[in-house]
A and B are shown apart, each in its own frame.
Chain A
């Protein structure tokens, strides 16, 4: 027998409902806390949603954030935030900073004159400084972006709800939806607590998380559907547990390979997309968790209508593919 790495034993018999108070209840508490965090702390919106300008500066000289700040004060730009950017890929002669400005005008993006005056002000304290990138979003566009972002997340959830409803039963669709709301909620909550930058790429990550999480839930649901037909006298709770145990190995494997790939991106992918990748990593973790501990619980609470009339339980064997609805 050749060596095989087994993350999950061949046969598991975990009772996923055993600690429902801690797992499901805990998630409910975390979800509520997330909502509170978003409402009280608020999200740290990036320029995509708030309007304003982000400038990435690079210099071969050591960075002095204080000097930069002082240099920009006479320009009267309103809120200016300067942060140093770190990445293991930068050598000692690459010193990168990010300068964020509030929106300057009514509708429009930043004027070239402002950018030029900032560059000359910064070059006065550090002649080697250059602007690697300038991104500016006017308040008019950012106001629209925030709505289309929210609409896209809601539309994705709605679409998934309908698809799962058509392919399975409405109980599964609701279970999946609650799991998705959990994933979105916890991600927003974490971003509010850590005050991480929330921009369009995070929305892209959120949507990907939705896709990943529902994929996970659907695999379990698919097995539940199969087992409901196969063992139609078994109580629902046991069918759900059996299905989750049978698919556990796959759930862990897929989460494992995805997290491996994401870890590689997180370490080597550069600082530009680190926020995006971090959101995705977090999402794969909560998404995997929610499909195992949230989606099924909702299905159990709602119950599934099981149609006994068309099949005789005694004739249902291992290979009897009974196609009943």
Chain B
């Protein structure tokens, strides 16, 4: 006669005990959370025993409140910057052979191309050769064998654009940088446990728990913070003035209707900053102090020396913050940005400048903000529903199966605890649909037990020997249990793959609940029944 062997019994209950230990911290959620925060800060905290696990289930934004943003990185922006940087190199290379190619001028072009005209059409072949000579081979795995730029000639016109392989490499780099900078900026503000993930080709998902509105997050990550110091060529007549190639018209930040004509090639850029701090100027107005690195300091020093009396512009994200006149040589490499700032704005600007500029602009495709009160309401409602569901199902099972119903209920309770330990161990996130998944599991987890119990009932009509009926019931129900649960888990996997956020949380609890229900029904309930049969040695059983 087959029963669960003592060794197996011990193994099963040991597994349950370990599982329960990992679920335990969740029963004291706020206490353990405080403890974990203290430990993370290096404080020796004894409010939670160190020998107990302290992993907690992450609460999703819909339960904790917070902001969820899906941003798209305009990766194409970077092509323009690269083309802008390529122009001086092309110009200088061609100028070196002025005898053959003549004068070199830049033509208006799409943002991701550079079109160059030479005055001696006869030298076109040579010009093409020179420009192609500037191309560098790509070293990345996928782009092996190709070069970074492609040059095509059309009479006196040369068109230079990035190759496909280089574009892919640039896109990748842009995404990496954007992720890094967003991460730095959010860390600077010190919000807890933010999620910052790349999604697909050109998207970034940002989830920040505990903030009341997406505005705060957008303020921090929505600005590119591209800082440049550019030579001012003069005042522009208005936004519609058409600038020559290599020039641009930008509006003033605080003076309505004022436009500047600037040289597009910057003297220094924000990348050469090493520090930025909020400060006040001599009139006690909020301002930002900054310091350049060595190369930036030298470039800035040389420029100010050569252009005393000329104005230059401090440009942030295509807007002129201020356009002071250079009074004297500025050799130290530090300076101050003044403008019409509030204290908050100057603090934010300093944060942005410190964290670095985003290589490209972001647009927001999706945004969800949930207030903390609504989240707490959802937790309360979900908990109440789970308790009511549990009581109803346990009552129903006991009514229908008597003692065996109690065994199944114990297994059910263990099942729910194990879902929590599973979620804690996986570092998964519990969402509102996830709670619904748990409540649904309460209903569906007993299915495996029901299958077995119904089968035992059937077997009892044939044999009166309890152990044999129990064995046969378990054996014969197994294939139905397996087939039924494999399909459910398959569906949960598909949900996880396609779903996002809350729906994913549901998929995780559904899959965990189903997997664990097979374990609890086949092992935990079985173990209880066998223990009972061994202790009581019933002559007959009734299911």
Q: Which residues of A contact B (CB under 8 A)?
A: 1-7, 10, 56, 58, 89, 107-110, 112, 115-116, 130-138, 140-141, 148-149, 151-152, 155-156, 159-160, 163-164, 167, 200-201, 203-204, 207-208, 210-212, 214-216, 218-219, 221-223, 226, 246-247, 249-250, 253-254, 256-265, 267-270, 272-273, 276-277, 280, 318
**Does B364 sit at the interface, judged by CB under 8 A?**
yes
Inter-chain contact A160/B510, CB cutoff 8 Å: no
Inter-chain contact B492/A211, CB cutoff 8 Å: yes
Q: What residues of A have a CB within 8 angstroms of the CB of B444 in the complex?
A: 212, 254, 257-258, 261
Inter-chain contact B443/A261, CB cutoff 8 Å: yes
Inter-chain contact A159/B490, CB cutoff 8 Å: yes
**Does B369 sit at the interface, judged by CB under 8 A?**
yes
Which listed residue, A140, A200, A260, touches B503 by the CB 8 Å rule? Answer: A200
Inter-chain contact B367/A219, CB cutoff 8 Å: no
Q: What residues of A have a CB within 8 angstroms of the CB of B479 in the complex?
A: 222
Q: Give CA–CA (A267, B381) in the complex, Å.
A: 9
User: Which of A116, A135, A219 neighbours the largest number of chain B CB atoms within 10 Å of its CB?
Assistant: A219
* Interfacial residues of chain B within 433-462, with CB under 8 A of chain A in the complex: 433, 435-436, 439-440, 442-444, 446-447, 450-451, 454, 457-458, 462
Contact A264 B433, CB 8 Å, known A156-B490, A210-B491, A272-B378: no
Inter-chain contact B218/A204, CB cutoff 8 Å: no
Inter-chain contact A2/B440, CB cutoff 8 Å: no
Contact A136 B385, CB 8 Å, known A211-B487, A262-B443: no
Q: Give CA–CA (A215, B489) in the complex, Å.
A: 11
The 10 closest A-B pairs by CB, nearest first: A261-B443, A270-B381, A258-B443, A152-B498, A211-B491, A264-B389, A215-B484, A261-B389, A264-B388, A222-B480
Contact A204 B366, CB 8 Å, known A159-B494, A246-B458, A270-B377: no
Q: Give CA–CA (A264, B392) in the complex, Å.
A: 8
Min CB distance A53 to B, Å, is 9
Per DSSP, are chain B's interface residues mostly helix, strand or loop, or mixed?
A: helix
**Does B312 sit at the interface, judged by CB under 8 A?**
no
Inter-chain contact B487/A160, CB cutoff 8 Å: yes
Which listed residue, A130, A137, A218, A250, touches B366 by the CB 8 Å rule? Answer: A137
What string of 1s and 0s marks CB contacts (under 8 Å) between B347-369 and chain A?
00000000000000001111111
Shortest Cβ distance from B412 into A: residue: A257
Given contacts A137-B367, A215-B487, A222-B483, 15 further A-B pairs with CB under 8 A are: A109-B364, A135-B367, A138-B364, A201-B433, A204-B499, A207-B495, A253-B400, A264-B386, A264-B388, A265-B385, A267-B388, A268-B388, A269-B382, A272-B62, A272-B432
Please list 24 pairs of residues, one from A and one from B, whose beta carbons are closer than 8 Å in the complex, sorted by A's number: A3-B399, A5-B400, A6-B400, A109-B365, A133-B369, A136-B367, A152-B497, A156-B490, A156-B494, A204-B507, A214-B484, A218-B483, A250-B451, A253-B400, A254-B444, A257-B443, A260-B396, A261-B389, A263-B392, A265-B389, A268-B385, A269-B381, A269-B436, A280-B436
Q: Which residues of B contact A (CB under 8 A)?
A: 62, 70, 72, 213-215, 218, 363-371, 373-374, 377-378, 381-382, 384-386, 388-389, 392-393, 396-397, 399-402, 432-433, 435-436, 439-440, 442-444, 446-447, 450-451, 454, 457-458, 462, 476, 479-480, 483-488, 490-492, 494-495, 497-500, 502-503, 506-507, 510, 542
Shortest Cβ distance from A247 into B: residue: B454
Inter-chain contact A163/B487, CB cutoff 8 Å: yes
Q: Give CA–CA (A130, B372) in the complex, Å.
A: 12
Q: Give CA–CA (A3, B405) in the complex, Å.
A: 13
Inter-chain contact B365/A261, CB cutoff 8 Å: no
Q: What residues of A have a CB within 8 angstroms of the CB of B402 in the complex?
A: 2, 4
Q: What residues of B have a CB within 8 angstroms of the CB of A222 in the complex?
A: 479-480, 483
Inter-chain contact A135/B499, CB cutoff 8 Å: no
Q: Give CA–CA (A57, B436) in the complex, Å.
A: 24
Which listed residue, B213, B366, B388, B498, touches A109 by the CB 8 Å rule? Answer: B366
Contact A276 B370, CB 8 Å, known A257-B397, A260-B389, A260-B392: no
Contact A218 B484, CB 8 Å, known A107-B365, A200-B499, A254-B444: yes
Inter-chain contact A132/B373, CB cutoff 8 Å: yes
Contact A4 B400, CB 8 Å, known A109-B367, A136-B368, A280-B440: yes
Inter-chain contact B433/A261, CB cutoff 8 Å: no
Shortest Cβ distance from B69 into A: residue: A109
Shortest Cβ distance from B493 into A: residue: A159
Q: Give CA–CA (A167, B482) in the complex, Å.
A: 11
Q: What residues of A have a CB within 8 angstroms of the CB of B435 in the complex?
A: 269
Q: What residues of B have a CB within 8 angstroms of the CB of A267 in the complex?
A: 385, 388
Inter-chain contact B506/A250, CB cutoff 8 Å: no
Which listed residue, B214, B457, B503, touches A134 by the CB 8 Å rule? Answer: B214
Q: What residues of B have a CB within 8 angstroms of the CB of A156 in the complex?
A: 490-491, 494
Q: What residues of A have a CB within 8 angstroms of the CB of B374 in the complex?
A: 56, 132-133, 272
Inter-chain contact B498/A148, CB cutoff 8 Å: yes
